[in-house]
Structure 1
């Protein structure tokens, strides 16, 4: 009697264990529920990808200079550059996530950044004087800001959400540029 009762208790567990479970969690109707603006995807995602690459390039340039700066302005610029690369890091994430929201992959691999970023001058290896680091960053921030300004115009007609994001990116870049230029006056 005990074994019959025990068998009856295990029956639901055995049946449950024999069920096959799908690992495909996609809903056939889920994609229709995701809000999506009518956007011209290629120009928008191209603008986001180019911005992502350039922001990443600038992040690494600022971080490299943060570590290797020398001269009387060392402590001021060391702290300022830390503020810059932390701000750039968050912005990089926002730009990548916007691209993902448009159902496009973000490509931030080092090889992509090296091959696709037009920013110059390159960050030199080794120690860099405080004045030279400022000149390098001023030139690079100006290029980056101008590139983003062009993309703001390009995305304005087709994707106001991306345009708004790029406006906030440009605001941050212009603030960094102003701070760098203030040392060079």
Structure 2
């Protein structure tokens, strides 16, 4: 039993699905970063960049965790698009409120996804995955709160 984890394949499947979500979200954040318009441009543009930098770090951490569990992370965008619950959006102009609304909606999904993976990881004695994702959960919850405050 690898690292004492009961069901490595179940955890890796969850992590690969999450990795797909993160990669689609990462591309979506670039779209929003590049296409924000209006009086909130500077503030929103700068903050979206901070978010996608954090998501990029998390992508690497999740892929490395999958490798640590003795499996391979998914890497094809075609697979990501097939299994991700986060959807792409059109390349067009978005005002600041629209950008924040899109991000908050995806954050809500991500927060719930993380909670589900933490629960499964805990059930399978995978404390490391649960710990990694607990840190991510704290980031997404705090950032969602800040974005909601910014969007009032």
Normalised by the size of structure 2, how large is the TM-score? Answer: 0.92
Match of 1:15 in 2: none
Pairing partner for 2:81 from 114, 132, 138 = 114
Say whether the 8 Å CA contact 1:56–1:108 is kept in structure 2: no
Q: Which has the larger radius of gyration?
A: 1
Match of 1:44 in 2: 11
Does 2:37 correspond to 1:70? yes
Does 2:149 correspond to 1:182? yes
CA deviation map 1:38-88 (0-9, x unaligned): 111111111211111111111111111001000111000100011001111
Matches within 5 A, 1:9-158: 36-39=2-5, 40-120=7-87, 122-158=88-124
1:178 & 1:172 partners in 2: Cα distance?
10
Shift of residue 173 of structure 1? 1.8
Shift of residue 129 of structure 1? 1.4
Shift of residue 179 of structure 1? 2.3
Unaligned runs of 5+ in 1: 1-35
Say whether the 8 Å CA contact 1:56–1:113 is kept in structure 2: yes
Aligned residues: 150
Richer in helix (by share)? 2
Normalised by the size of structure 1, how large is the TM-score? Answer: 0.76
Stretch of structure 1 that moved more, 172-181 or 61-70: 172-181
Larger relative contact order (Cα-Cα within 8 Å, sequence gap ≥ 6): 2
> Once superposed, what is the RMSD of the aligned Cα atoms?
1.5
